[in-house]
Structure 1
Amino acid sequence: MSPYILGIDVGTTSIKAVLLEKVSRAVVASQTLATAADVVDNSGIKAKEQQTSHIIDALNRCVCLLPRDKLENVSSIGLSGQMHGVLFWKAKSGCDWPDGECFTARDTSQLITWQDGRCSCDFLSSLPKPDSHLSVATGFGCATILWLMKNRPGFLEDFGVAGTIQDYVVSMLCGLDGCVMTPQNAASWGFFNTTSNQWNTEILRAAGFPTHLLPQCVPSGGLAGQTRSNWHGVPAGTPVGAALGDFQCSVYSCMRDQTDAVLNISTSAQLTYAMPADFKPQGSPQPASSISYFPYFEDSYLAVAASLNGGNVLASFVEMLKLWMKEFGVEEPSDLCLYEKLIGCALNQETSDLRVRPTILGERHNPMCLGQVTNISSANFSLGHVSRALCCGILDNMASMMPADLLQQAGVRRIVGSGSAIARNQVLRQEVERAFPLPVVYGQNADSAVGVAMVLCDRC
């Protein structure tokens, strides 16, 4: 039987696991499970946390659903996951293997996710300037740790290791005493120099940061170790890749050419293209810039416009409509029914002079830029106008962050459109083609679990 690569993405809301046949590079099995791990925040500090035990339980159940005979022929395991966030655990006791084939979380904190908002603008401005071309924002691991040092100084005393949730899974599978982290995830934490591949240790130490929590950096695309035990049929001793960023893996899964740009609209939205091989980011962070340069593979970089406002804006609009209906005492239709109605109305309204700025979550480069609706008249207040203007606004915001002429100057020849929001919304696809006068192709859906499996297939 041909060997398989097990690719896993530990996402914000779900776990996805795929089996990629190594020879044909075909996905032969796939499973997705919701984690249902969100913790209700009553603290008033805009915390966004998840139950680690729920995530690991969903991970085990998801992998267990894959065909056992194929799992027994897995030759390597790759993991990607949600970036920026931070999890803490105790060295040498971060999990149990109660039945020899399934590990459960133990002695860990809750996962503080990338969506965490506890680091205010005032707090971030009080932090030292990083030796990096990348800015630091709320939800970034190092910023969160510095916040905890100031506001919950005793919290970290119980833990000796820190990493992203995907780093934690790698450590538990391999039985590592500490945490290894690739530059992709390290850069997402802040205070990491991607040119030297070094943490800003001295800067952080001077700020009172517990530098013993900084993971050991290893190359993106390399191995972290081997499985310490059989895992749902995957043999002990199977090589495990060091965890990668979900964004980079999603791009890897669908960028077929260096002249492609990838536009992904799911919960949030990202537009990216590959920089030339000799590109090196220069200078200090530019917090007001809408474009960042993320480390990719083999010392290369992606130019990225990462918007916090994507499909979640449409979901918020649907929730608002449902709330209004509830307040009027009207029976609420399903989310699917509302989405279909909104799309249908927008398709019947080909254009609109109504203007919606959909940045209800702000943006990392401009957190105070909230949403607006302008140019309202008695003639453009229909559901079709509003729905069309909302979809248009999502793409206008994306184009303001990374304009079409910039893509053309960078040598981009086509845009690969992907993501769940684009896949199910024809109006968004129309607005993509209006905002970016380049050929747009669909159907090459970005998939982090497939991408991380492809990375191992190509590089290990």
Structure 2
Amino acid sequence: MYLGIDIGTSAVKAVVVDEDQRVLARASAPLTVLRPHDLWSEEDPEEWWSATGSAVNALRAEAGDAWSGVKAIGLSGQMHGAVLLDADGNPLRPAILHNDGRSHAEARELNRRLPAIGSIAGVPAMPGFAAPKLMWLLRHEPEVMARARHMLLPKDYVRLRMTGSYATDMSDGSGALLLDCGHRTWSPEIAAACGISLNLLPPVLEGSVASGQLSGAVAKAWGLTPGLVVAAGAGDAPSGAIATGAVNEGDAFISIGTASQYFVVRGQYAPAPDHLIHTFCHGLPGRWFQMAAILNGAGCLAWAAELLGQSDIGKLLQSAEEAFSGPSPITFLPYLTGERTPHNNPHARGVLFGLTASSTPQQVTQAVLEGVALSLADCQAYVAETGALPDRIAVNGGAAKSRFWMKIVASALGKTVVLYEGAETGPAFGAARLARLAATGEDPATVCVKPEIAAEIAPDPALRQAYAERLEKFRALYKAVKPLF
């Protein structure tokens, strides 16, 4: 048995996977995003730890006798967040998250200071990454940086609490924008341009190796064996790739969680910074990936549900599906928290365009689903410029539970959407696979296989044409309102 834990933005998710790679139990615990100012997005690291405990305890109850057979633990988590700790490992302030846009001036400054950063780190500096966040803290909260002795990524703080070890993996290190991705090591050039010491950063490991052992106190609290191996793990996007078996050249998948990613595996490091495509280290050795990072995904649907006063998202989706007769007359720009790919614009905002006195909640809901799908289609054009894309693409994350939404996505992309068994567990399942590799030393090719297919959803030809036309309107709408942001 292997335990996978994913520190997401909206929830901590955990799964237990057996030797046959069946998910025996799953559990989650919610998290709260703090938005004290415009462009800010933060979370309390202590809440990650308490939510992890809640999810693990719920998982323990569901797993029953299988729980005692857990052999190793893997971690996944939201990427790009900056967690500043003092000499004793205590958080000095709330973590600054991936969708925080406050460091836009510092990102521009970093690109000026080090024009080659896109080639070294795999993408130009943008506000969501940890590197410009550290520059912002040096400028605006120097007292925090004066006390800081460690900077970790979100999942790595949970690792610290589990094992006492400071570490990260290559993929999450890439997402900090402080890694020389071609050489898979921290970059002195980038650190110097940011004005920080490399001593602030943890050791960086391949995702499939051991990073520490579960402490006795945590093992006792969780009902597990002390000393269990904890794998280095991976960021949520590459861990989701590992879950879907996207580990070889040309393999591709889309994740639609709170944020979204369009992800393609590459066998060599070939950055494409001009396209704002992220070229980062994969969670397995000797592999890289190219990714369009989209800040707005299923979180838009949660926003719409709250806006429409509907607490049951399932019923909201069902109502929209029953009313569906073609593309919504409303166009939605899904940039509720700014956008990274393809706009690099933290000031971008959501827009509902085409509202009339007869607009319905169902039309608004459908427009939100279409807006996320069209955002993926917009990015697909940029990803395609970096190399060939397959005609079939896997989708995971919470959105994968809605076949209606997947029909919209397939038609907007013009590709058959493949849903794998357990697709909604995504990164947590990938983390469990990394736990197994760290414990057994098996060949990744034998473990990171593609799961059983649960469903295939082909694009609807009529909708495909309609969404191709809508995509042009979608792009034109962004260009028209961009100056107003």
Q: Is the 8 A contact 1:184 1:295 kept in 2?
A: yes
In the TM superposition, residue 386 of structure 1 has moved relative to its aligned partner by: 4.5
Secondary structure of 1:339's counterpart equals helix
Give the SS at the match of 2:25: strand
Mapped to 1, the partners of 2:362 and 2:71 lie a distance apart of: 52
Equivalence map 1:365-384=2 (5 Å): 365=341, 366=343, 367=345, 368-372=347-351, 376=354, 381=359, 383=361
**Does 2:398 correspond to 1:420?**
yes
Shift of 1:305: 1.8
**Aligned partner of residue 142 in structure 2, secondary structure:** coil
One-letter identity of the residue aligned with 2:407: Q
Change (3 A) 1:352 1:168: closer
- Match of 1:318? 305
Instruction: Using the TM superposition, name which of 417-426 and 300-309 deviates more.
Output: 417-426
Three-state SS of the structure 1 residue aligned to 2:207 is coil
Aligned mate of 1:454, from 413, 433, 456: 433
TM-score with structure 1 length normalisation? Answer: 0.81
2-structure distance, mates of 1:405, 1:209? 32
4+ residue runs over 4 A deviation: 256-260, 368-374, 376-387
Relative to structure 1, the CA distance from residue 52 to residue 354 in structure 2 (aligned partners, 3 Å threshold; closer, same or farther) is: closer
Letter in 1 for 2:27: Q
Given residue 111 of structure 1, which amino acid in structure 2 is its aligned partner? A
1:170 maps onto 2:159 in alignment: yes
Q: 1:25 aligned to 21, 24, 46, which one?
A: 21
The answer to whether residue 145 in structure 2 is matched with residue 156 in structure 1 is yes
Letter in 2 for 1:240: V
Letter in 2 for 1:301: W
Instruction: Name the structure 1 match of 2:184.
Output: 197
Residue 379 of structure 1: how far off its partner (Å): 11
Counterpart selection for 1:88 from 75, 84, 87: 84
Secondary structure of the residue that 1:39 maps to in structure 2?
coil
Rate the CA distance shift 1:307–1:75 in 2: closer, same or farther, 3 A: same
Q: CA RMSD in A?
A: 3.0
Radius of gyration: which is bigger?
1
Secondary structure at the aligned position of 2:20 is classed as coil
Relative distance call for 1:150 and 1:26 in structure 2 (3 A) is: same
Mapped to 2, the partners of 1:408 and 1:114 lie a distance apart of 24
In the other structure, the counterpart of 1:123 is 106
The answer as to 2:277 corresponding to 1:291 is yes
Q: 1:139 to 1:227 in 2, by over 3 A?
A: same
Which residue identity is paired with 1:393? G
Residues 244-263 of structure 1 mapped to structure 2, 5 A cutoff:
244-255=234-245, 258=248, 260-263=251-254
CA offset at residue 380 of structure 1? 8.3
Q: Summarize the Cα distance change of 1:225–1:372 in structure 2 as closer, same or farther, 3 Å threshold.
A: closer
What SS is found at the alignment partner of 2:308? helix
Paired letter, 1:241: A
- AA aligned to 2:287 is S
Is the deviation greater in 224-233 or in 381-390? 381-390
Match of 1:325 in 2: none
Shift, 1:50, TM fit: 1.6
Q: CA deviation at 1:383?
A: 5.0
1:318/1:338 contact within 8 Å kept = no
Which amino acid in structure 2 is aligned with residue 183 of structure 1? M
Partner of 2:269: 280
Structure 1 pair 62–207 and aligned structure 2 pair: CA distance change class (3 A): closer
Match of 2:407 in 1: 430
Aligned to 1:440: 417
Give the whole-Å Cα distance in 2 for the aligned partners of 1:52 and 1:257: 31
Distance in 2 (alpha carbons) for counterparts of 1:346 and 1:144 = 44
Distance 1:442 1:192, change over 3 A: same
Within 5 Å, which residues of 2 pair with 1:180-195? 180-195=167-182
Matches within 5 A, 1:333-344: 333-336=310-313, 339-340=316-317, 342-344=319-321
What's the TM-score once normalised by structure 2's chain length? 0.77
1:321 deviates by 3.3
Q: Which of the two has greater helix per residue? A: 2
Q: Give the unaligned 5+ runs of structure 1.
A: 95-105, 323-332
